[in-house]
Amino acid sequence: MTNKPTKFDSLINVTQPKLPDFNEFTKHLKDIWDRKWLTNDGPKHNQFKDELKNYLSANNVELFTNGHLALEIAIKALELKGEIITTPFTFASTTHAIVNCGLTPIFCDVDSTTYNIDVNQIEKHITDQTSAILAVHVFGTPCDVEGIQEIADKYNLKVIYDAAHAFGVEIDGKPIGNFGDISMFSLHATKVFNSIEGGLLTFNDETLTSKLKALKNFGLTTPDSVDYVGTNAKMNEFQASMGLCNLSNIEEDIGYRKYVSKLYTEGLKNLSNITLLFRQENIRHNYSYYPVLLKDVKMRDELHENLKKYNIITRKYFYPLVNDFNCYNFDSSLTPVAKNISERVLCLPIYSDLDPEVVKAICNTIRYELGEMSND
Ligand code: T4K
């Protein structure tokens, strides 16, 4: 393998949304034009919901305009109060949802292999104010769902999973959305599967359905009664149409991401300064991100900057750590493992139509920049 760097003519971004065949999408648009039904539980929305329920083998599904509002609504629907134990190694949305709902996030450190909440450290954060655990399946790697449920049962806590990255993931053949009380999936343009913007909740307790429906529609339970202080978080017919088109290709898309991921793993193996994400055998992954850890923050920041010279755009997901955000006043030294990962992480470009030759060239460019020439 050669190790010459490659300068690309156009930007290779960390991700790129999957777009369906244009004509397929316009067929849906024609239906919408003919029907003049644009949002509020339209037929496309309902069809999309049924197909997702089937694909995810979920007991119950509700759709939302985006993943973030879905998460806030999940917290409200479970009537959580006080403190929620959560991870600082996540996107802003997870913590903001807790705070926007008037609760206090309590940060638990993460596991150094999965980067997910460290189940062995949860119990020490439980107080008489704790009402739930909000864990994130970061980069689509499942949390220790059994360990978390054991603790939740022992202390009578609810469990919400931020599964924004985990669409299509399975543990021992069981769909990931079936664990905990509620799971939230993001269907944003940057995700493995998108409906432009969009979010969905899967949940086991069917009695939550009417409350979730009301909360996303201003709290209305009938045209004449408003039982909750709700919001507007409904998915519209255009979003649902994009989702329907993309859902028909999802297996192919995940399969292609698996191939890209394998090319990276092959191209970056044996590099002394790079640690690759550990992937467990019993997991059906979705290859949503390709994160690597560099030796230290200096090397990570230099590589991130230097790759820009070649038009390779990587992202520091997730840096800064949430407990270092300017808008909060938490102490990130209390979560040292998360802090260390956050300072070393870099996500490389991955999407479902990324050219294999580009992936190989990115690997060679990284090797060149790190001064590690041989692939043996
Ligand atoms: N929980 C977790 C753990 C999450 O990661 C997220 C979202 C949520 C909750 C909330 O779910 P949503 O409410 O979003 O459904 C992006 C996404 O906007 C965000 O959805 C995602 N996590 C987060 C990890 O990544 P940014 O600020 O990095 O996006 P942006 O605009 O910089 O886009 C990233 C790259 O994607 C760009 O380099 C270019 C490319 N891109 C982006 C868009 C929007 C395109 O090529 N086309 C596009 O249309 O947050």
pLDDT, one tens digit per residue, over 129-176 is: 999 999 999 999 999 999 999 999 999 999 999 999 999 999 999 999
**Would you say residue 2 has pLDDT above 90?**
no
Which residue's C-alpha comes closest to atom 17 of ligand 1?
A: 190
Dihedral sign of CA atoms 96, 101, 106, 112 in order: negative
Q: Where are the domains of the chain?
A: 22-247, 250-370
Beta bridge partners of 199: 64, 186
Q: Measured in angstroms, how far is the CA atom of residue 3 from the centroid of ligand 1?
A: 31
Q: Measured in angstroms, how far is the CA atom of residue 223 from the centroid of ligand 1?
A: 35
Query: Residue range 111-127: average pLDDT?
Result: 98
What does each C-alpha distance from 335 to 5, 135, 139, 321 come to in angstroms? 37, 15, 19, 10
Which homologous superfamily is 250-370 in?
Aspartate Aminotransferase, domain 1 (3.90.1150.10)
> In the chain, count of helices (H) and strands (E)?
11, 15
Q: SS3 for 301?
A: helix
Closest ligand 1 atom number to CA of residue 16: 46
Q: Measured in angstroms, how far is the CA atom of residue 16 from the centroid of ligand 1?
A: 10
pLDDT of residue 329: 85
Measured from the CB, is residue 16 less than 6 Å from ligand 1?
Answer: yes
Measured from the CB, is residue 88 less than 6 Å from ligand 1?
Answer: no
pLDDT of residue 372: 87
Measured from the CB, is residue 313 less than 6 Å from ligand 1?
Answer: yes
CA 50 – CA 46 distance, rounded (Å): 6
- Give tens-digit pLDDT for 3-57: 689 999 999 999 999 899 999 999 999 999 999 999 999 999 999 999 999 999 9
Closest ligand 1 atom number to CA of residue 313: 38
Q: SS3 for 376?
A: coil
Closest ligand 1 atom number to CA of residue 93: 9
Residue type, 18: K
CATH 3.40.50.970, applies to 22-247: no
Q: Which residues, other chains included, contact 128 with Cβ-Cβ below 8 Å and sequence gap of 6+? A: none
Is the distance from CB of 171 to CB of 149 less than 8 angstroms? no
- Give tens-digit pLDDT for 189-202: 999 999 999 999 99
Q: Which residues, other chains included, contact 363 with Cβ-Cβ below 8 Å and sequence gap of 6+? A: 263, 264, 266, 267, 268
Is the distance from CB of 198 to CB of 235 less than 8 angstroms? yes
**What is the pTM for the complete model shown?**
0.97
228 pLDDT tier (thresholds 50, 70, 90): very high
Closest ligand 1 atom number to CA of residue 97: 9
